Amino acid sequence: MLIKAENLSKVYGGGENKVTALHRASLEIAAGDFISIMGPSGSGKSTLLHLLSGLDFPTEGRLSYDGQDIYQLKDKELSAFRRRRIGFIFQQFHLLPVLTARENILMPLLLDKKREDKAYLEELAGLLGISGRLSHLPRELSGGQQQRVAIARALIARPDIIFADEPTGNLDSKSGGEVMRMLEKIRQKMGTALIVITHDSRIAQMAERRLVIMDGILQEGGAAR
Ligand code: ADP
- Please tell me the distance between residue 224's alpha carbon and the centre of ligand 1 in angstroms: 29
Q: What sign results for the dihedral spanned by CA atoms 165, 168, 171, 172?
A: negative
Q: Which of 11, 47, 48, 56 to mutate to test the pocket of ligand 1 (most atoms within 8 A of CB)?
A: 47
CA-closest residue to ligand 1 atom 26: 12
Q: Is the pLDDT of residue 1 over 90?
A: no
β-sheet bridge partners, residue 11: 20
Least confident of 52-56, 96-100, 200-204: 200-204
Question: Quick one: pLDDT band at residue 31, thresholds 50, 70, 90?
Answer: very high
Which atom in ligand 1 lies closest to the alpha carbon of residue 47?
6
Which atom in ligand 1 lies closest to the alpha carbon of residue 44?
6
- Please tell me the distance between residue 193's alpha carbon and the centre of ligand 1 in angstroms: 25
Q: Is the pLDDT of residue 221 over 90?
A: no
Whole-model pTM? 0.93
> pLDDT digit string (tens) for 67-85?
999 999 999 999 999 999 9
Count of CB atoms situated within 10 Å of the CB of 57: 14
Predicted pLDDT of residue 222: 59
What gap in Å lies between CA 55 and CA 206, rounded to an integer?
26
Domains of the chain: 2-223 (3.40.50.300)
Predicted pLDDT of residue 66: 96
> pLDDT digit string (tens) for 105-137?
999 999 889 999 999 999 999 999 999 999 999
Residues framing ligand 1 (Cβ under 6 A) = 12-13, 19, 21, 39, 41-47
Q: Is the pLDDT of residue 223 over 60?
A: no
Mean pLDDT over the full length of the chain: 94
